[in-house]
Amino acid sequence: MRKSTRDKILTVLEDAFKATGVSIDRKFARVTLKVLEQQEASRSDLATVMASGIWAGVARTLEDANEPNAEEFKLLCEEMKKVPYMVRKPVGAEFSAAVKQFPPPKGGRPQSLKDAQIMEVRYKLGQLDAEGYERADILKRLSGEYGVSVRTIQRAWQTRKKNDQL
């Protein structure tokens, strides 16, 4: 496989881990790659070790792989995005604390509002509430503005209360 193709696939994998809040230390990943070749490993931050180790293992595998066609490349990139979520299940109980740093597999229906929109809704609802508007009118107004149900706006407001208590 060409180095440029390998690097693109590894970048997709790295971005997938970053999206879950687990970073890959490239310098450490390269050391991990050497350590994997020698069958030894140790590092205090086990989640980083695992992510870096996976990255290094994929890098080593890709070095010997054939160059993929466009469709195979796209499929490989899609699979790389799923890796952080697949790591949780097969790892043994002794790694449970580190494994919990990886996100659980995504499930359920996607959120109607993005995080930034939820913050806007909370801010606007708070402002309109302070100005004396009726709560029901505010909810209807914001639901129309964002194209979601009144219940979705209520949930956005309720999650604010949960987050404030933490």
| Domain positions in the chain | 3-99, 115-165
pLDDT for 43: 40
Q: Mind listing the pLDDT tens digit for each residue in 52-95? A: 778 888 888 888 889 999 999 999 888 888 887 776 665 555 45
At 21 the pLDDT is 74
Residue-level pLDDT at 102: 67
> Cα dist. 151→112, 116, 130, 139, 142 in Å?
11, 18, 21, 8, 11
Is 0.95 surpassed by the pTM of this model? no
CA distances from 103 to 21, 86, 87, 97 (A): 8, 10, 9, 12
What pLDDT is recorded for position 54? 81
Q: Are 66 and 58 in contact (CB under 8 A)?
A: no
Mean pLDDT within 41-56: 63
Res 162: pLDDT: 59
Instruction: Give the whole-angstrom CA distance, residue 38 versus residue 96.
Output: 25
Looking at residue 140, what is its pLDDT? 95
